[in-house]
Structure 1
């Protein structure tokens, strides 16, 4: 009855929510490190049918799934039954929704009768108090169930933005789980530097603006995303005078690069990107909706510099780091698809009057 909608969903992140190798590896690690306690927290939004049919439960053990894989319906991730079956919200995060069992296909979930589909996570409350958040918040807002620390804040970022007054999630993100509509989202601008002479220090400022996203960049699993600014300066002789934002053998930004994202602390005060360990927020350096940041790069000009100078800046994005992706492949004993680098914005500037 709905071939167009089905086709759109089939190619979406919703359809892959439980199937992507990186997620399955990350879930395996989380499940083992928490002795099974994290399972329902993740599954409530990545495979609701898998959770409510009893295929995933607290302390279920990863080996159990390897012996009894998810049913085809559960492996489909976020299906029509979730978004179209929500009849109430009991909170604004952590899968705090109530489903109508009549809207689920019982034939596709033979593991147990689905008589009571009230989410076991619905008692977890988000610190957000805005009563007008959309149903999307049930899965696009999350707190660590152990520490209460907000670890996913996409909807609250939108609520705090100027877009909340007249722009809804579906105005940019088409229905059925498809990615946001393509277009320029970030603007990168190299600001004209102050005069500098050979042998002196020069400062280059790069302004990065979030001009279209109604939430911070990156958002969602911000602790895993890689968004970084590369800046390079060369002189007229082709000599590289400065370079920030280079990458290592895994394609990950080198230490000292300007990066955008969040970093948490665990109970011992150590930095962590593992949601289940997050106790406190250590760093949040992201581009807010309709906001901007100016990054500064300072370096010394050689005495024999040859002008004019060529300045290039590029903002690049990957869904997850190369080292972490390779580690997840080892953990899952399965090849991981490559994380392609996307260029989100770039600029170039010629600086005259230096060494000429």
Structure 2
């Protein structure tokens, strides 16, 4: 029938249909303009000129307080982090340096665009490259390209760096910030530029949205989680929780009240207590006790944030008058994004449950950490499972192109978990203890990453690590309750 009526279709119409169909069939889902993004898969744009980046040792001459706050932050450790370096080393061997520029662009933007970083390791790099996300990186950002990215969302460093410009009078350094500059701002060293972007979450979005380098699948979606939640609707931004101390963080999260100008700090504090703990040990071993104290303060803040972020509710479920199940409601009460967030296929947040009868006999357990640091199969985890193009389980970020399970808790949201209670015999009551626990990574994943650090990072010499110890676990919430076995 098709052949019979083919002659009735005008030739030009048929040609257009064929060409259009071919074009659509051959169009990629995510178009990449390699000229627009010369460092792809990093999406940084650099307005290159003779104006150089300013290392933090120069910034601290005038900004002592801000420098001390930043120096204890994970931003300052973003590139030298041994776990990141292990991951970068593994990625470089698996997919090559052209791909790992994506990681380097957010962990050391200046080092990447300047071409200093050619793979994992710290040897031979400048102060600016080693400083990670330093003062001059954030204050050289004068725009973002979120809509122009392949996914038309913030991803993989989609910001524009302009540390300065060339003028007829010479090189002029430009530093962008949220305040209207006063006449003496910059002290003659740089010009100050008022930037509305620095009052928006879009400033943070570029690097806190990590997408697969080719498939553009969101491995980390912290910004989108925030944007699609109640904190964005209430105008509580990343800066309002992560650039303040603990008490102001709690107020922002609980009351949706923005901090006063004087309350902002350059802490950039989040949940990564492991990184600041390791760095504090390295500083102490190097004899820098003052810096070790600054880092330990950041460690303590991170732990306190985790303990403030979640909550638990325990409730019995009775059937035919007998205790049949325990319902545990896990709530995200203060995180403005999902709990947990970031690299959720590596992070571990889980429930440990112990139930005892009135004689003290344990009748049910779930989620206890094994002697080798791993979790049992019955542990109820709140994280993600990654998979590659073949739909098989994967943990490496350069392999993961989708999630087979994504079980995190949205801001101000909750998830219910039910635990069946077996026949209790003569027991009249049950005592329950439930812990919401968190650690930065699965024990075996951490061992693999720290085991992959490049040769110029001596874990024994720098961190006094002879072997990978059990990863520290934070008990975010601990709740006890007692319920009768009949009702």
- Identify the TM-score tier after normalising by the shorter chain: 0.7 to 0.9
Is 1:14 the equivalent of 2:135?
no
Equivalent in 408, 411, 433 of residue 289 of structure 1: 411
Corresponding residue number in structure 1 for 2:223: 155
Equivalent in 160, 164, 176 of residue 102 of structure 1: 164
**Contact 1:147/1:278, CA 8 A, preserved across alignment:** no
Q: Distance between the aligned counterparts of 2:384 and 2:348, measured in 1?
A: 10
1:152 positional shift: 1.1
Corresponding residue number in structure 1 for 2:445: 324
**Contact 1:189/1:346, CA 8 A, preserved across alignment:** no
| Cα displacement string for residues 193-250 of structure 1 (whole angstroms, at most 9, x for unaligned residues) | 31678xx772111001111111001111111111001111111111111111111223
Map 1:123-272; keep pairs closer than 5 Å: 133-165=201-233, 166-174=235-243, 175-180=265-270, 182=304, 184-194=308-318, 202-272=324-394
Corresponding residue number in structure 2 for 1:347: 479
| Cα displacement string for residues 132-162 of structure 1 (whole angstroms, at most 9, x for unaligned residues) | 7521001001211211111111011011111
More helix by share: 2
Corresponding residue number in structure 2 for 1:107: none
1:256 positional shift: 2.1
The two structures have a TM-score, normalised by structure 2, of 0.62
1:186 positional shift: 0.8
Q: Secondary structure at the match of 2:390?
A: coil
1:338 positional shift: 5.6
Change (3 A) 1:284 1:344: same
Structure 2: state its 5+ residue gaps. 1-61, 147-153, 166-199, 244-264, 271-300, 460-464
Q: Distance between the aligned counterparts of 2:310 and 2:363, measured in 1?
A: 27
**Contact 2:427/2:485, CA 8 A, preserved across alignment:** no
Q: Distance between the aligned counterparts of 1:344 and 1:317, measured in 2?
A: 7
Change (3 A) 1:193 1:337: same
How many residues get paired?
319
| Cα displacement string for residues 175-203 of structure 1 (whole angstroms, at most 9, x for unaligned residues) | 53531474522110111331678xx7721
State which drifts further: 31-40 or 292-301.
Answer: 31-40
Q: Distance between the aligned counterparts of 1:234 and 1:9, measured in 2?
A: 47
Q: Distance between the aligned counterparts of 2:346 and 2:133, measured in 1?
A: 21
> RCO (CA 8 Å, sep 6+): is it higher in 1 or 2?
1
Structure 1: state its 5+ residue gaps. 104-131
Equivalent in 136, 147, 158 of residue 81 of structure 1: 136
| Cα displacement string for residues 102-131 of structure 1 (whole angstroms, at most 9, x for unaligned residues) | 29xxxxxxxxxxxxxxxxxxxxxxxxxxxx
Q: Secondary structure at the match of 1:192?
A: strand
Q: Distance between the aligned counterparts of 1:338 and 1:134, measured in 2?
A: 37
